[in-house]
Structure 1
């Protein structure tokens, strides 16, 4: 049955005017990437292109109905190809202020961390002053190569083709340090058993990593940005993230065909859902006057979609922040286990020849029995962390209830700000909460009101031009109208006057190229109206925006 529906959907997409245009006239989009940057993108042992970026590009091509040709080569070649127009898109590039002069970037699909590596036993740097006169090997034309060239730390920069070459040179004793992306470096170190090197310093903050085009090719970038937004809102991006980056485990190449079949099934289900929603919306637009019940169902669907959109940033950030350290634990535990098992014969022989001895203040025989249990418990703990993250993602997909009960708006706002702490700090250094301590309660559903607050804070943060501009969230009492006021101020770019009248219209957005869905304010307005609330916008281009939401206070509350 699913196969039949999927076939019908594919036919529908092709037979629509947009589908016919894509099929007949759209050129193949040339997409480039690094051939030695696992697990993001690489060429596997069988000569196939693979990795997180490759799967994401293919998924975007499918949901957007575009043709892509993916080529992987050295990073410096791919960057040059994008600069001279031989490539239309790079599927994985770190955004920076200097690079934005030449390239345009999508919203990040993932955050990349960077680390200094050194040989074990060598001095570990504590500041950039410790690098003066030292040799640092980096990937040619990579973001850390740019970083060291832009900052004069007195280091001898050694550019090489790939992260793998940098680590080989370091392990061989040719240079003092290697600086590169943490996951690809650890991935390569594990695969090639470079046991004499390790991470010694992480001074660079995490960097946004996504799609990039040359300036002037923003139309192509918009296709990838919209596709990326669809994958995030449907949960497909998280599935690809978990597959490649969740535990940093390399998929068994013998099982890739089965994985591809499973991914195809998931794609089919997602395409079916997207097609049904599209047809449903078009039907509602034509028959809205006589289908009020279906409009109500559409509102519930929009609420669910917006929860994924507004909580998507939170869930993705939490999953990344938690999965990264737990993934490092899961990556290193097998090495520790192998090291212990390899050392046991030597320790047993030493014990037999010399009698009892202690390790870490504990008798060797006891240590010998307990270490395997300790390693297993650590592994089970890391796996439990992964399950907790999955439970959080499942919670984000649950439907909100329509119950109304007395709630404290200050507590809801504080919870929303706490959950968005990582996101907020990524946008601004000036975030203020001004909460009226004498605020009365209101009638509503805390989870749904929290969804509104999260959406308004994210919108305010995304409007900021740089971290020096701020966001202020305040609550207060309007005694004249006997209402509670929630106000969100931002020092951002403001809203064009022609857009003010359409801000709460479904699917209207001024951030389409950044992955906006146009659902956030529409659904938020529906939730606010459900609890007799009102929302007003005050904005001027270049002068920031103030959004005020008011609710009637709970008149049954006793003093």
Structure 2
């Protein structure tokens, strides 16, 4: 007992320390990727990702270090947990191990060719062409997917400089790259960007899926940045890199054009109108591009006027279950108090939505609403937390098993010795005096009680050992050495095993087998665990010893399954309890662990079966387990 208390104290202390300590090792690309991240000549990192990292670490209460490296090198380190986080677009290579922190940043790619070559207006101009691109990038995945559709000849490179220099030397018809990559190329290259932006993709922070606790912590920090408005300030700051050279190239021409237009305004009125028309068309084009950018985002975005009514929304807002009317009270309160807000909504269709209301200091529309469907993110986070809990439970169970199995083994050894000693005494003892009493009993009665006590002690010690071993293997993968098994024998053995337990809850327990029952492929011990858990749960649901429990085994009407059914007349379940009944660690029993039905669901899935739960509060419960039938 002393050792167990010390062990629990050490485990709890380690868990608290692990939770409080938080350090982020961020992998930053050495090749410049302005305005998102780059390192200047003095070795100082800059960019939007660096600012977001600083603020996110501050919100999460973490420290951070920055490790430069090539993109492929950083991906390898992220996969092997040598770094905590890096910034990438989702690619199949990383999706196997990466979890993404949503930043709502969209990066477009462009087709780029030589100054003297004809422009590339659409994807139809790609057919049969030789295209250069960066290996391992999101562009790589996209081009590989559409290679046959457009009959493309693809050539990949490890860095942009080699790619562009080969292209200018005459290799290929054009190359495809992101706008930040293009803007960071040397200015003397004789190239031009063609057409409209293509291949949009989300870009942002990525972490290893195994680092679930820190992932949840940083996700919450990013959500706080968005709710406070700090995230959008950083986005606005870096919306155009400070050293982006595009405006330099055109500023003089724009100024000269404006001056010339003013001087000739009276003489060339018609020309002026044409120029105004052209400017309006350009503005409409920019507005269209901005709308396209916002329509790509999965979030629903609304612009709210001072009367609390939406005056603009993106495409996602018309295709989801969330409606702006659901937060009318929050909108009204935000406008009145001039304060941002953040809330979560749980819709009837089990979707979870996170809604942020951000106060805008300028303009006639004072409020921006961003609504995100986080149902899948919540589910993944819950699964990761359950996995962590089950792993911790397995580690604790191993230590508990060690502490229990050793004394249990000693008890078994000594019980066997005492039984042998008693048998030898009995054999060598002369006929005992009938008038003598042993523990208040006659010799014959005492002998029978001794044999019964030995049997009871042995059975219960074995039960303790088996139970601890089951708990020890709970979080480990069960072996899959399946064979054809007879469910009739398994059911009979299970009922005998829990017979003593059932009698303490009900006097009306029946078990029926409807012949014929075909064999199934499975693991006898695991199926027995299903039956025992369900019988025990049925017993716990009873409120009176006269209430009945009925077990049955039969084949399904369609002949495809063998069905084990257990029905009780107990307290039943409410709709809320019924929905969560098979979730790990969920229980309504005071001393329950919430593992019984979770184990049942896991084993049924491993046997390629399924289950159906029918229950009404106050009317009892029926659970049916369907095992695929296998004929001999």
TM-score interval, normalised by the smaller of the two chains:
0.3 to 0.5
TM-score using structure 2 length: 0.41
Higher relative contact order (CA 8 A, sep 6+): 1
TM-score using structure 1 length: 0.45
Q: Which has the higher helix share?
A: 1
